[in-house]
Amino acid sequence: MAPPSSSKAEFPWWLAAAAVLALAAALFIAASDLYAQVFATVAKGIGITVFVTVVAFAMASIIGLGVALMGLSGLPWLRQVARFYVEIIRGVPILVLLFWIAFAGAPAFVAAWNALTAPLQGAGYLGELLVRDVSLLWRAIMALTIGYSAFISEVFRAGIQAVEKGQIEAAKALGLSRAQRFRLVVFPQAIRTILPPLGNDFVALVKDSSLVSVLGVADITQMGKIYAAGSFRFFETYSIVAYIYLILTVGLSLALRALERRLRRQHEE
């Protein structure tokens, strides 16, 4: 028997099946008053979920890149500080880190801020900062930022180390500074290696953003919890919650894969 053609073998039947199911679910939600009401309520949290994910991922990427560069530094003490940060943060579950930042870290930060700014507060230039002034939304964002920065730093470190040393030596021979070598030679080549695992972390953060609901932040999961607790429609509510998260995560995964293919084609050309 002749082997199947590559075009048929690579056709994403799973995606076609998922699209049909998603369309059928959307039509069912639109036709059902109950499911439409649940969807309208839960969908109010989409904006918060997207905001938390985008802000936390952006800040985690910046911190992660800084930690990765520290880990690749020629100074031993910087490398040790970076390794300490990565190992300690990765060893703490995200949910535990969320609680610690929200209920221990935030009060400690407020106390330190007030101690440092006491002269300015005494002179009337600044008011006293209270714990309640630090919103639970931003406590949650900071917890996700710190937690994911440790994982993202390892992604950056591996991608940078994957760049051929000959490329770096050639850049040195051209007289480029360390910053110029990183900006013009190392990072553009490393991004092709970094992008797939970085995209996976972004999708994972979309899902882990649901943890902010334990602090009462009005994301998708929290809106679902509130509706289910008041209506006792647990099956309908959490089916809608799962449906929305699937749409977000699968859509992001497809977009990231398309971007990877585009970068690969550009590199081959």
Q: What is the full per-residue pLDDT of the chain (269 aa) written as tens digits?
A: 445 544 455 788 888 899 999 999 999 999 999 999 999 999 999 999 999 999 999 999 999 999 999 998 889 999 999 999 999 999 999 999 999 999 999 999 999 999 999 888 888 888 888 888 889 999 999 999 999 999 999 999 999 888 888 877 787 777 777 778 888 888 888 888 898 899 999 999 999 999 999 999 999 999 999 999 999 999 999 999 999 999 999 999 998 888 888 877 776 66
Contacts of residue 181, Cβ cutoff 8 Å, sequence gap at least 6: 168, 171, 172
Rounded to an integer, what distance in angstroms lies between the CA atom of residue 179 and that of residue 172? 11
Would you say 148 and 67 are in contact if contact means Cβ atoms under 8 Å apart? no
Please state the pTM of the whole predicted model: 0.88
Q: Could you tell me which of 252, 196, 250, 201 has the C-alpha nearest to residue 94?
A: 201
Tokens of 243: 């449906």
Rounded to an integer, what distance in angstroms lies between the CA atom of residue 188 and that of residue 202? 20
Q: What's the Cα-to-Cα distance from 116 to each of 106, 119, 172, 222, rounded to whole Å?
A: 15, 8, 44, 36
Would you say 136 and 218 are in contact if contact means Cβ atoms under 8 Å apart? no
